[in-house]
A and B are shown apart, each in its own frame.
Chain A
Amino acid sequence: MSPEFSAQTKERIKEIISRYPRKEASLLPVLHLAQQELGYISSEAERWVAEMLRIKPIKVREAVTFYTMFYQEKLGKYHIQVCSNLTCSLLESEELIDYLMEKLKIETGQTTPDGKFTLSTVECLGACEEAPCMQINFDYYGNLNKKKIDSILASLK
């Protein structure tokens, strides 16, 4: 039973697998592609990837549960990941996290009922010169304050 991959994604996945000297080495890039399309890594996806890479499904799940960027459940449309590491917390990211929790009416780790936003705290994003920072899906936002956050969220449809 293959997950709902578009033909294009399947082709891209096959192409990526072919560039590696060993099939199984392409696991992380393939999982990224799968997740981009499905929103998370379902168990059908795990089995499908396992078969493509000639490894056992348990090896796929070992990786999915190890790496924080792979999800086993669908998240909101926008995944707001606020850095809570040292520099950002020096620049008061904790206040911003509290602000977001208040604004979205959810706790960290939760998704808004309309499925639009998921809020998480993450470790250092590597953009400390713009602390406090957050990442929404793959986009970085820095030098944050409450006003900026308001306008960023408002711009996300």
Chain B
Amino acid sequence: MKEKVLTKNFGLKNNFKIDVYLKHKGYEAVRKALREMKPEEILEEAKKANLRGRGGAGFPAGVKWGFVPEVDKPKYLCVNADEGEPGTFKDRFIMSHDPHLLIEGIIITSYCVGIHQAFIYIRGEYEAVAQRLEGAISEAYEEGFLGKDILGTGFDLDVIVHRGAGAYICGEETGLLESLEGKRGHPRLKPPFPASIGLFQCPTVINNVETLSNIPVIILKGAEWFCEKGLPKDGGTRIFGVSGMVRNPGIYELPMGTSLKDIIFKYAGGMKAGKKLKAVIPGGMSAPILRADEIEIKMDFDSLVEAKSMLGSAAIIVIDEDTSILDVLKAVSKFYSHESCGQCTPCRIGTSWINKIVKRIIQGKGKREDIDTIQRLANNILGKTLCPLGDAVAMPIGSITEKFRDELESSLSR
């Protein structure tokens, strides 16, 4: 792809410094948005751009902003920088190598919705990244892009970097809100939705880092241009994170709809020496697994739904034939039982039960009916939990036990 949108500054030296950023059209979008555009116009552009959430759920950002009511309460923006989905590391790159791009996106979004305080909820493990963000935010304050009366337009905005402390569930939007309010990260019942009742019971917009980082280019180049960069209903580029048994793991900014096969074999260098492809997880661990013969697929939200998987965080994990699928199952069941918040029955007990069965199978004490049990339990979790983590565990486990049943059975004692 010739023209990079999100990663254009990644190769620059000291790219996180504001003077470098300003030299490369930095903060022009903020200037245009705050000085030349009305909030309603920005909302229209965001909607027309068909920018779908880059965190995992893929909800259209403009539509989400439009849900925020006009009430006599302060409004908040929470930037979801929790990046806990296994296989995902793109937001880390954005925040490390172009923090000002994110800050620009935050400013424009806040101006559009009428928000004067934004929190960047960043996972606690990303301490180095958090410090870099704080440095960039300091610079932005100094240059007058944050704080009171930004660029003399009368618009105020404060940004706080808020560190998490090791809980995947705080990447779920209402788990994030609870955590930001100083509590355990227990997701809330929806409705009500955060757009109306969110942080401190006030209207709140929650967007992923990559989602917001797309806003400046939408302002500068327009929604139409953005759609052309991707697909008509799925605008823009996507940062695909490839890891696993490929030659060149890393991030690849490509148009929405690029073929998965191309991403693996054309861009990421193909399989490591001597390795054959067995399976791919296309959108972070929560996405149902694809067999090697299923990778002729376009990487966009709708195509993956059709293939009974999901684009999610666009984190592509490449699995080779020398890896036992049982080990994949083990990693999946261990992760979700570790991360379950424990609030609702199916997830709290189901993830642990499945994990216990998998452990027993690995110890060599598994039976055929254990695979049936695992599938049945996954089904009893699917769609029945308080938050999407239930689906996030049920769907991958369902797909692994379905598509690789033979291999799993062959690893059983009887």
Contact = CB atoms under 8 A, between A and B. Distances in A.
Q: Per the CB under 8 Å rule, do A and B touch in the complex? A: yes
Interface of A: 19-22, 24-29, 31-32, 53, 55, 59, 62-63, 66-70, 84-87, 89-91, 122-131, 135, 138-140
A125 B323 CA distance: 21
Contacts of A24: 181-183
A120 to B, nearest CB: 11
Contact of A125 (B125, B185, B339): B125
Nearest to B243: A128
B127 A25 contact: no
Contact of B241 (A29, A128, A138): A128
Contacts of B168: 123
A84 B163 contact: no
B251 interface: yes
A131 to B, nearest CB: 6
B356 to A, nearest CB: 17
Interface stretch (B330-338, B376-384, B402-410): B330-338
Interface of B: 74, 83-89, 91-92, 117, 123-128, 158, 160, 162-168, 179-185, 200, 241-245, 249-251, 281, 285, 315, 317, 319-320, 323, 327-328, 331-332, 334-335, 338-339, 341
A87 to B, nearest CB: 4
Nearest to B339: A123
Contacts of B117: 21
B335 A124 contact: yes
Contact of A27 (B182, B242, B281, B335): B182
Contact of A69 (B85, B165, B244, B327): B165
Contact of B331 (A59, A70, A85): A85
A124 B86 contact: yes
A155 B194 CA distance: 47
Contact of A28 (B86, B179, B334): B179
Contacts of B339: 123
B182 A128 contact: no
A157 B200 CA distance: 45
Contact of B123 (A22, A25, A126): A126
B87 A86 contact: yes
29 contacts: A22-B200, A24-B181, A25-B182, A28-B164, A29-B162, A31-B165, A32-B163, A32-B165, A53-B182, A63-B165, A63-B182, A66-B184, A67-B124, A68-B166, A69-B166, A70-B166, A85-B86, A86-B331, A90-B244, A122-B125, A123-B84, A123-B86, A124-B87, A128-B88, A128-B244, A129-B89, A129-B251, A131-B243, A139-B128
Contacts of B158: 19
Contacts of A139: 128
A142 to B, nearest CB: 10
B183 A59 contact: yes
Contact of B183 (A63, A68, A86, A135): A63
Contacts of B125: 69, 122, 125-126, 135, 138
Nearest to B88: A126
Nearest to B179: A28
A69 B328 CA distance: 25
A148 to B, nearest CB: 17
Nearest to B322: A90
A123 to B, nearest CB: 6
Contacts of B87: 86-87, 124, 128
Contact of B74 (A21, A84, A126): A21
Nearest to B165: A67
Given A66-B184, A87-B244, A90-B244, A127 B164 contact: no
Contact of B181 (A22, A85, A91, A128): A22
Contacts of A91: 244-245
B89 A128 contact: yes
B117 to A, nearest CB: 7
A29 B181 CA distance: 11
Contacts of A86: 86-87, 244, 281, 285, 317, 328, 331-332, 335
A24 B168 CA distance: 21
A68 B250 contact: no
Contacts of A125: 125
Contacts of A59: 182-183
A62 B185 CA distance: 10
A106 B127 CA distance: 27
Contact of B89 (A32, A55, A126, A135): A126
A124 B285 CA distance: 10
Contact of B250 (A55, A122, A129): A129
A107 to B, nearest CB: 17
Nearest to A21: B200
Nearest to A31: B165
A87 B332 CA distance: 11
B116 to A, nearest CB: 11
Contacts of A62: 183-184
Given A89-B327, A124-B88, A138-B125, 4 more contacts: A28-B165, A62-B184, A91-B244, A122-B166
A129 B241 contact: yes
B49 to A, nearest CB: 27
Select the residue from A87, A135, A138 with max chain B CB neighbours within 10 A: A87
A129 to B, nearest CB: 4
